[in-house]
Amino acid sequence: MSVVIDRLSVTYSPGAPVLRELSLSVTAGEWLGLLGPNGAGKSTLLKAIAGLVDHTGSIRLRGVDTASIRHRDRARCVAFVPQEPVIPPGMTVAEYVLLGRTPHLPYLGTEGRHDLSVASSALSLLNLEQFANRSMAALSGGERRRVVLARAIAQQADILLLDEPTGALDIGQGQNALELIGYLRAERPMTIITAMHDLTLAGQFADRLLLMAGGRIVAEGPAQQVLTAEYIREFYQANVEVVSVNSGVAVLPIRNGAR
């Protein structure tokens, strides 16, 4: 499902817009990586696409303006995984994953057989069957990430928005999380937009990168074009060296000044 955004602006407090007349398009099945320093507007852009913040300008999903569709229908198209998902204490993995069926149920309805089978295939897709009856509180950080992804998969949305999918994970878990997203995309076609801080991983996994600063898009394209030492110095105020590796580019932070 394609996403086309035209002159999108979001303002939380008057006079200080977080997104400024931003336009972009994402083709169906593409993985777009959003980059940018803290406060650039990455999370806000994801939330705007998910319909969680008021905005001006238009967002079209497969050509349909989101202003004209109901909130629930939008949730059937767009699944959003926040940076720090709320983990309800005491809830089991199965109960949590079933929450992903909410947009498909009547307002006061409960899950039926079909919802159970969708949730159980989401669990098996992420290799979580053995956790189904375990409490969310008993899982490790990496396992929780997978359960949260399973909930998003159970939502059966074509567009998956992930805010910092590797945040708070160690290097191995972070890599696994992204491999998993790549695997999910191969299993069922999805458009994926991730906001990421790890530039090297973003460059290796996303099809296209979009660098944001101050609520605007400042660069976009493949990793080689966006991940340059100049851009990173200008927008992150970071001193880095960008090196070519087999799978793309790697961004290495370099200490300023002499040791």
> What residues line the site for another protein (CB under 8 A)?
47, 50-52, 70-76, 78-80, 82, 85-86, 88-92, 94-95, 98-100, 102-103, 105, 107-111, 113, 116-117, 119-121, 123-124, 129, 132-133, 135, 137, 155
Shorter beta-carbon distance to another protein: residue 64 or 99: 99
Shorter beta-carbon distance to another protein: residue 13 or 237: 13
| Residue 31: CB minimum distance to another protein, A | 20
Residues 232/250, Cβ–Cβ less than 8 Å = no
For strands 31-35 and 191-195, give the pairing: parallel
| Residue 105: CB minimum distance to another protein, A | 8
| Residue 69: CB minimum distance to another protein, A | 11
Phi–psi pair at 10, nearest 5 degrees:
-130, 130
Give the chain's radius of gyration (CA, Å).
19
Distance between CA atoms of 147 and 45, rounded to whole angstroms?
Answer: 24
Distance between CA atoms of 144 and 56, rounded to whole angstroms?
Answer: 35
Distance between CA atoms of 57 and 9, rounded to whole angstroms?
Answer: 6
Shorter beta-carbon distance to another protein: residue 162 or 251: 162
Phi–psi pair at 197, nearest 5 degrees:
-95, -30
| Residue 129: CB minimum distance to another protein, A | 5
Residues 251/240, Cβ–Cβ less than 8 Å = yes
Shorter beta-carbon distance to another protein: residue 78 or 240: 78
Residues 202/166, Cβ–Cβ less than 8 Å = no
| Residue 97: CB minimum distance to another protein, A | 9
| Residue 167: CB minimum distance to another protein, A | 16
Shorter beta-carbon distance to another protein: residue 46 or 219: 46
Q: Identify the bridge partners of residue 251 per DSSP, sorted by sequence position.
A: 242
DSSP 8-state secondary structure symbol assigned to residue 99: G
Q: Identify the bridge partners of residue 193 per DSSP, sorted by sequence position.
A: 32, 161
Shorter beta-carbon distance to another protein: residue 105 or 229: 105
